[in-house]
Amino acid sequence: MLNDQLQEALNRHMNSEFFSSYMYLSMAAYFDSIHYKGFAHWAQEQANEELGHAMKMYQYILDKGGKIVLLPIEGPPTTWDSCLGAFEEVYKHEQKVTQQINSLYEICQENKDYATQTFLHWFITEQVEEESMSSEIVERIKLAGNSNSAVLLIDSELGSRKSE
């Protein structure tokens, strides 16, 4: 059974994962609107992945006998000033999610909830990948600079992302 503090924190984090999915879906729509189909595909895949993270949290709360509390999901941005601006936001967002997961882990430590600590290891490892991937895309877009051809090459590469 989850204690009240941890149950509330897990529900809040589940909401953050749902927001992440919304944000990436909004980003996909933005990229589609400016005809970057590869960037849009990447963002749609990321939206699906984040939805999976939320559902993993959802199932864990249920498995531990907790209560699901679905909170309102804040509306995400709908436009960005550029591909670089969008991916800089992605990187900052993933850093924020990492901080949230670290805070969850600290609550688990305070409450000696070893099962939830173990469950969160997957999320901790996943965030290393998320930050690395988004940082790499930011750096590649920066390297492309004002070269439309280079940005289109990145767009093409991101369009080949496979579902996990």
Task: Output the domain CATH number for residue 145.
Answer: 1.20.1260.10
Place of tokens 């430590």: 109
How many Cα atoms occupy the beta-carbon half-sphere of 68 within 13 Å? 13
Residue 162 has pLDDT above 90, yes or no: no
Whether residue 112 lies inside any domain: the answer is yes
Q: Count Cβ neighbours within 10 Å for each residue of 102-111 and write b for 16 or more, e otherwise.
A: eebbebbeee
CB-based contacts of 43-49 (< 8 A; 24+ apart in sequence): 45/161, 45/162, 45/163, 45/164, 47/21, 47/22, 47/23, 48/21, 48/163, 49/164
Percent over 70 (pLDDT), the chain: 100
Whether residue 131 lies inside any domain: the answer is yes
Residue 145 has pLDDT above 90, yes or no: yes
Whether residue 91 lies inside any domain: the answer is yes
Q: pLDDT tens digits for 109-138?
A: 999 999 999 999 999 999 999 999 999 999
Whether residue 163 lies inside any domain: the answer is no
Whether residue 104 lies inside any domain: the answer is yes
- Residue 96 belongs to domain spanning: 4-158
- Looking at the structure of the chain, the number of domains it has is 1
Whether residue 80 lies inside any domain: the answer is yes
Whether residue 47 lies inside any domain: the answer is yes
Q: pLDDT tens digits for 64-96?
A: 999 999 999 999 999 999 999 999 999 999 999
Whether residue 164 lies inside any domain: the answer is no
